[in-house]
Chain A
């Protein structure tokens, strides 16, 4: 599923028209995703700034999201991660990690339905990751959750760069198939 759904398209056209209730709707739908990605990489305090930047960017330049090229979830997730990594790289990595460990439990608001969905999603993805061969899982985790380039992953794991790229490709491919299989079995998924 590459293209955006009807809801994404409606939100995109309303944002282009300057409707801030569409921004609120997008935030309500994907705020946790964006904030979670940023929190994981740089800690909750700076994640607030990144979350706000991501949605302000969507608001001020809505034309950058093209529903013909992909889903809003993907667009925001990529943007959140990129902004968080920029933030991470602009400061000392050590400082960011310390900051993150000090604030491991972010202040959250109970939202039962959203929390339940997030728990289900997180569990499915965790299971899918665990099914990967260890070296593929490690490469993906270092690249995605630690914000490393594949060359940095190679150095961190002591593996050749070519091997690391292959692990990312094979791991991501397996992950995609596993999540698609869950969908085929009728299990609710996000894909």
Chain B
């Protein structure tokens, strides 16, 4: 039944006061759902009603606060489960492949910031790294990656040579190698799940290595999108959760590399937005600093694709510790 404007206004005031029975509440809420302007008026009235509560405000007993926080510690909002590492890697491989199949001849020649390579050269680099990864995982015999082993120095001759050849061949070789790696790991080849792999001097579990690879492939997919003037793509929340969680949890491990003298007590890192979360690092009772940042921005910052100024984190507490954490966040960016 339609309401007259007067009925609507009267129901709205009673609704704001929560003074309607269920039937009238449903009637007015149906109207509000279809009328944003009226809904805003209703919200204004509710703001006034909320002020009525200030006239009876009473400080709660002190134990209520500690009881509440104790109870909150044992429960909490549902967080998004992270994508499993191999599915994450597979998703990012396919996402990059999707970008590559849409490139025209000119697109393959575009320079890619911040590298000395074209798009073609960057994909050749990914192929070289994929082969290196396979060797480290024990999926291929050693010997195919001789020479410098730094991430950007690996296979420079091959990258150079491939840039003179067919980009389609390079794309196919990279994707075949990358999907073969995922398939082999799914089949249980390579190290045991508890085993670690040396990846440029870092000892990583197979799962963490897959996440690191996915992080790099996502970053390069965005590099290529930027190079050909396309919009960058935010990963799905569950994918972000997997990547950001590994990055943040690794901070205490890599902190000594950037601040060997620092006396790290503890920190809380809060990554906001879908796929984010709250991470307590070090000793929870000895927290030096609270850092809050957007989860996607944090990932781009960790990948060195966003500056600290652009990240604009909220920092409460010891700023020096925060500085060390931010420096540590970028150590794994390769």
Q: How far is the CA of A21 from the CA of B65 in the complex (A)?
A: 12
Task: Specify which chain B residues have a CB less than 8 angstroms from the CB of A114 in the assembled complex.
Answer: 59
Check A134 for interface membership: any CB of B closer than 8 A: no
Most buried by A among B51, B65, B75: B51
- Return the CB mask of A85-125 against B: 1 if under 8 Å, else 0: 10000000000000000000011111100110010011001
Q: How far is the CA of A125 from the CA of B95 in the complex (A)?
A: 58
Most buried by A among B12, B14, B43, B270: B14
Check B194 for interface membership: any CB of A closer than 8 A: no
Among candidates A60, A78, A171, A173, residue contacting B75 with C-beta atoms closer than 8 Å: A60
Check A138 for interface membership: any CB of B closer than 8 A: no
Nearest residue in B to A80 (C-beta to C-beta)?
A: B53
Among candidates B18, B48, B59, B76, residue contacting A18 with C-beta atoms closer than 8 Å: B76
Q: B54–A190 contact, CB under 8 A?
A: yes
Task: Specify which chain B residues have a CB less than 8 angstroms from the CB of A17 in the assembled complex.
Answer: 270-273, 276-278, 295
Among candidates B20, B49, B67, residue contacting A144 with C-beta atoms closer than 8 Å: B49
Given contacts A18-B77, A150-B14, contact A39 B51 (CB under 8 A): no
Q: How far is the CA of A18 from the CA of B79 in the complex (A)?
A: 8
Task: Specify which chain B residues have a CB less than 8 angstroms from the CB of A150 in the assembled complex.
Answer: 14, 17, 19-20
Check A140 for interface membership: any CB of B closer than 8 A: yes
Most buried by A among B16, B71, B273: B16
Check A169 for interface membership: any CB of B closer than 8 A: yes
Q: How far is the CA of A16 from the CA of B295 in the complex (A)?
A: 12
Check B45 for interface membership: any CB of A closer than 8 A: yes
Check B69 for interface membership: any CB of A closer than 8 A: yes
Q: B56–A52 contact, CB under 8 A?
A: no
Task: Specify which chain B residues have a CB less than 8 angstroms from the CB of A122 in the assembled complex.
Answer: 54-57
Nearest residue in B to A125 (C-beta to C-beta)?
A: B55
Q: In the complex, what's the smallest C-beta–C-beta distance from A142 to chain B, in angstroms?
A: 9
Residues of A in contact, count (CB < 8 Å)? 86
Nearest residue in B to A120 (C-beta to C-beta)?
A: B54
Check A19 for interface membership: any CB of B closer than 8 A: yes
Task: Specify which chain A residues have a CB less than 8 angstroms from the CB of B158 in the assembled complex.
Answer: none
Q: B14–A165 contact, CB under 8 A?
A: yes
Check A42 for interface membership: any CB of B closer than 8 A: no
Check A185 for interface membership: any CB of B closer than 8 A: no
Q: B76–A20 contact, CB under 8 A?
A: yes
- Return the CB mask of A37-67 against B: 1 if under 8 Å, else 0: 1011000100110011001100111110000
Interface residues of A, dominant DSSP: helix
Q: How far is the CA of A24 from the CA of B17 in the complex (A)?
A: 27
Task: Specify which chain B residues have a CB less than 8 angstroms from the CB of A82 in the assembled complex.
Answer: 18
Task: Specify which chain B residues have a CB less than 8 angstroms from the CB of A23 in the assembled complex.
Answer: 68-69, 72
Residues of B in contact, count (CB < 8 Å)? 58
Task: Specify which chain B residues have a CB less than 8 angstroms from the CB of A108 in the assembled complex.
Answer: 58-59, 61
Q: In the complex, what's the smallest C-beta–C-beta distance from A126 to chain B, in angstroms?
A: 6
Task: Specify which chain B residues have a CB less than 8 angstroms from the CB of A47 in the assembled complex.
Answer: 58, 60
Task: Specify which chain B residues have a CB less than 8 angstroms from the CB of A73 in the assembled complex.
Answer: 47, 50
Nearest residue in A to B79 (C-beta to C-beta)?
A: A18
Q: How far is the CA of A71 from the CA of B48 in the complex (A)?
A: 11
Q: A168–B10 contact, CB under 8 A?
A: yes
Check B99 for interface membership: any CB of A closer than 8 A: no
Most buried by A among B13, B45, B61, B270: B13
Given contacts A17-B278, A150-B14, contact A55 B53 (CB under 8 A): no
Q: B17–A48 contact, CB under 8 A?
A: no
Q: How far is the CA of A168 from the CA of B49 in the complex (A)?
A: 11
Q: B59–A35 contact, CB under 8 A?
A: yes
Task: Specify which chain A residues have a CB less than 8 angstroms from the CB of B57 in the assembled complex.
Answer: 32-33, 35-36, 118, 121-122
Among candidates A36, A56, A60, A143, residue contacting B14 with C-beta atoms closer than 8 Å: A143
Among candidates B46, B51, B76, residue contacting A121 with C-beta atoms closer than 8 Å: B51
Task: Specify which chain B residues have a CB less than 8 angstroms from the CB of A48 in the assembled complex.
Answer: 60-61, 64
Q: A145–B13 contact, CB under 8 A?
A: no
Given contacts A14-B270, A143-B19, A165-B10, contact A51 B75 (CB under 8 A): no
- Subset of 6 A-B contacts with CB under 8 Å: A17-B273, A19-B278, A37-B53, A60-B76, A78-B49, A172-B16
Given contacts A31-B59, A69-B39, 10 further A-B contacts (CB under 8 A): A20-B72, A27-B68, A56-B72, A59-B75, A73-B47, A80-B53, A85-B18, A143-B19, A172-B45, A190-B54
Question: Which 3 A-B pairs have CB atoms at the shortest separation, nearest pair first?
Answer: A77-B50, A169-B13, A36-B57
**B contact residues vs A (CB 8 Å cutoff):** 9-14, 16-21, 39-40, 43-62, 64-65, 67-69, 71-73, 75-77, 79, 268, 270-273, 276-278, 290, 292, 295, 314
